[in-house]
Structure 1
């Protein structure tokens, strides 16, 4: 018979035994729920969900209304992705606020690997409102006697642009520069968290700076600058020093210069009589510095 070029080879021993063919003892059958899962519409999932990064956690998929504790992926367009950055309670935020105002330990140690954006957002929002109210009160008492005062909501937009812009863009820029120079310890969320909690000192400073006494305003703003600058330097120095010595020195100088610019902007724009942010109606007295 023709085999189309193929030869069949069968190994037969002298007694005609084809060899061991009883495979029954080597077989083991297990129960499978594949048919049940298929009938119910479920798709079998693998238990290996991969690793996760410090800023973009990964895992199985989840919808915006799903349970984030199940280890699902959190997509940028889902609510769960942003909810993880606000996963703190009131007691924890209060503890972090005290640690920012009265630092005893490193603030990054206080965070315990769980930086948040809840505290920074509401602290910065509070600073914006207090700056508007305090500067409005200061200008009200500084107006000429008998001149009616009209509220200027340009102060509110100016405070929002200054504080939100500084708190958002400066940490992002710092993080980008550190990553460019190869710093492995730089974390964007921690940078945003540090700058947000550093703004807390401006709340009492803004309240106290409603005083019409100019020299006291300078003292209050100077104290706010010193406390917040030391807070940032203490916690960011280990991260910045991961770069070479020259780069670290330049970055620290730029950080201090930008923070000093913020303090001066707060003093001149909001607590100098006749603020440049406010509209000049020609009825207010000249600015006093």
Structure 2
């Protein structure tokens, strides 16, 4: 009797539930082909923000596919797409001249810093230049009536903007002519940050002591010139004949510092 019960198949027992066999879903052709074409993102890259795989970190060029013409704001947006931490780090690097600044801006040169620096310098030269002449006037020429010189604004804008735009452009064409792979945006970025040291030094140039003023402007001019020299040396690796061009950039930067002292802080 017991043998009869045990020989019955379980599928015929009352209340038994047959096993459910699930078939594994195989990916379709479109699903199999989607994975290799997926655009992954690397986060965080070295320069901040998202970056596609394969994008060079050092020495790579930014993509120019977003260029929509000279009169389109979106064409210039990538050069202002930096956060405050990056700008502050570059400002500090410009005060302490080292040759790693060009490496920092290699993959992400910005124009936010240079535009802010040059615009600030225009107002500082105009305002503090008048303030410095007033203090000197009050100390040595009290009998002469002093008046605010509005033309300082015009001269400051012409000199600062003209220097920051034309000098890097001139060196860009010279470097291109001599066979180097120079980048105009990187030169504009580097030259713009090289002017930052004149902002704190201008605050000290208000001191109505001529000897101290000359010491301050010489130190500021030396730091700014050495910053240009250290970062332009990257082009001398291709040809040592370019050292003359790099040295001329150093002299030109120091001459700017002397001109600022003589013209605005008399």
TM-score calculated relative to the size of structure 1: 0.66
Alpha-carbon distance in structure 2 between the residues aligned to 1:80 and 1:193: 19
Q: In the alignment, is residue 258 of structure 1 matched against residue 255 of structure 2?
A: no
Matched ranges for 1:216-231 at <5 A: 216-231=212-227
- Measured after TM superposition, the shift of residue 142 of structure 1 is 1.9
Q: Structure 1 residues 74 and 271, CA, compared in 2 at 3 Å: closer, same or farther?
A: same
Partner residue of 1:199?
Answer: 195
CA contact (8 A) 2:87 2:113 kept: yes
Q: Is this contact kept in 2: 1:178–1:240, CA < 8 A?
A: no
SS of match in other structure, 1:125: helix
CA RMSD in angstroms, aligned pairs only: 2.0
| Partner residue in 1 for 2:70 | 76
Q: Call closer, same or farther: CA 1:55–1:176 in 2, change over 3 Å.
A: farther
- Cα deviation, 1:129-159, whole Å, max 9, x if unaligned, reads 1111211111112222154432111111111
Q: How far 1:76 moved relative to its partner?
A: 2.5
Map residues 1-289 of structure 1 onto 2, 5 A cutoff: 54=61, 57-58=64-65, 72-103=66-97, 106-143=100-137, 144-184=141-181, 186-243=182-239, 245-246=240-241, 248-272=242-266
Distance 2:135 2:70 in 1: 48
The answer (yes or no) to whether the contact 2:118–2:195 under 8 Å persists in 1 is yes
2: distance between equivalents of 1:220 and 1:86?
32
Deviations 1:252-281 (A, max 9, x none): 232122112201110100111xxxxxxxxx
Runs of 4+ deviating beyond 4 Å? none
Report the counterpart of residue 69 of structure 1 in structure 2.
none
Superposed displacement of residue 75, structure 1: 2.5
**Given the superposition, is the C-alpha separation of residues 89 and 151 from structure 1 closer, same or farther in structure 2, using an over 3 Å criterion?**
same
Any idea what SS the aligned residue of 1:200 has?
Answer: coil
Alpha-carbon shift at residue 73 of structure 1 (Å): 4.8
Residue-by-residue CA offset, 1:224-275 (whole Å, 9 max, x unaligned): 11111111111111124423x33x1320232122112201110100111xxx
Q: 1:89 to 1:134 in 2, by over 3 A?
A: same
Q: Distance in 2 between matches of 1:234 and 1:196?
A: 15
- On the 8 A contact 2:121/2:198 being kept in 1, the answer is yes
The answer (yes or no) to whether the contact 1:198–1:231 under 8 Å persists in 2 is: yes
Question: Which structure shows the bigger proportion of residues in helix conformation?
Answer: 2
Cα distance in 2 for residues equivalent to 1:84 and 1:152: 38
Q: For each residue in 1:97-123, what CA deviation from the matched residue of structure 2 results, as whole angstroms up to 9, or x when unmatched?
A: 122223566002222510001100111
Q: Counterparts of 1:249 and 1:105 in 2: how far apart (Å)?
A: 15
Q: CA deviation at 1:55?
A: 6.5
Give the CA deviation at 1:56.
Answer: 6.9
The 1:74/1:55 distance shift into structure 2, 3 A limit, reads farther
C-alpha change, 1:96 and 1:57, in structure 2 (3 Å) is same
Equivalenced residues, count: 205
Distance in 1 separating the partners of 2:81 and 2:221:
29
